[in-house]
Amino acid sequence: MTQSKVILKTAEGMAPHGGELVNLEAPKGQVDQLTKEAQGLKKVRLGSKETSDLEMLGIGAFSPLAGFMNRDDYMNVVKSMHLANGLLWSVPVTLSVSSDAASSLKEGEKIALVGESGTTLATMMVQDKYTYNKAVEAENVYRTTEEAHPGVAAMYGQEDVLIGGPVSIIQRPPHDNLQEYRLTPAETRAAFAEKGWQRIVGFQTRNPVHRAHEYIQKCALEAVDGLLLHPLVGDTKGDDIPADVRMRCYQVLLENYYPKDRVLLSVMPAAMRYAGPREAIFHALIRKNYGCTHFIVGRDHAGVGTYYGTYDAQDLLKQQSPEELGITPLYFDNTFFCKKCEGMASLKTCPHDSSNHISLSGTQVRNMLAAGELPPPEFSRPEVARVLIESMKN
C-alpha cells in the first residue's frame, strides 16, 4: 500500500488522534501506474456514504485509520468504543458488499474502489471479510433498533458482509461545488499556524447558524484564538437544508457579524450518522485531526427526534478521560433570547421564566420562511433568513 504519514502539530503538545496525521493519497508520480493497475482489478462500487468515508480516510480526517475497519476493530468499536489497539473511537467506518460479491473476493487480494459515477477512486487490500449483526450495532451505536431512526435505517440498508483493509487513494471523489472551502486537515492546520492561532475551537453543524449558535460560538471565541466553523456537507436527512444554501447563510453571517480575522470557514465531507452521544465523540476526534484544541458541544449534539436526552452527548463526553480524548469539549446549555434580560442567555445565566424566552420550533420556522416571513431578529439574523426564503422560493 502506498501511504505516507506526517506528524503535524498546532498548539504545543497538540497532535492528531493517535499521534499521526495519516495521508493515504498516492503520490502524483504513482497515480498513472495505480490507475492502470486498477483497471485489471475486481471492482467494488461505493455508495455516497462510503465515498464520503473514503475521502475522510484519504485526507487524514479519520486518523489513525488507514482504511475500512477489519473485524477486530469493528467489534471493539461497536462494543467498547475503542479500536483493537485500545485507542478511543466511537463510530464504525465500514464497507459492505453483498454475499455474492464477498464470495468472489479473497483475503490478501487487492481490489479497486469505484465511485457512483464509475470513476476509480482508490485501491484496497482486502485484509478481512466478515459478517456482522446489524441489530447489535444499532443497539450499541445508535441506542435503538428502530428503523425510523435515519442512521439505523441506513445501516440496515447495507449489504450483509463487511470487508476491511488499508486503502490507497488514486483521486479524491469529484465535487462540483464549494471547492475553495474543502480544506484538508493538513491545510486547516497550516492556516491556523499562518494566523498564529494556538487555541482553536471547532463547531459542528448541519444547519444554518441561528442566534443561539452565534451566541455560543462567540462565548467560545472569548477564550480561544480562533473559530473553525466546520459544517458537514456529506449525506444528511432528506429534509435537512442543502449544503449550498447553508453555505450562503454562513457567508452572509460571517460577513456581517463576525471579526474576519477570528474565523475560518471550511467544510467537512463526512456523512451524518445521527448517532447522538457516540457521534459527538466522533465529531470531536475528527476536529482534533483538523487541528482544533477545543470543541463546542451544545444540546442534543448529532441527535434526531427524541432518541437521545438533551445532554446525553455531553454526559458521554464527560465520561472520557482528557488524555484519551485529547481535545477539550466546551459544554453549552440551551440558549435563547430573553426579553427581560434583553439579550441572549442560557439556563445557566438567565433567572427568568420561559415565557420570556423567544424559542421557535423547526416547524414554525419553516412555515414562516415558506410564507416569506422573517423570523424574529432575536431568533435569526435577517440576512440569513432572506437566504433561506429565497432558496425556498426557488
Point out the residues that are catalytic.
206-207
Contact 159/94 with Cβ under 8 angstroms? no
| Angle CA 52–180–238, to nearest 5 | 40
Contacts of 307 (CB under 8 A, 6+ apart): 142, 143, 144, 149, 276
CA distance 304 to 376: 25
Residues composing the chain: 394
Q: List 43's β-bridge partners, or say none.
A: 112
CA distance 245 to 241: 7
CA distance 53 to 138: 19
- Joined together, the cell numbers standing for residue 231 give 459544517
CA distance 118 to 356: 55
- Joined together, the cell numbers standing for residue 20 give 499521526
Dihedral sign from CA coordinates of 172, 173, 174, 180: negative
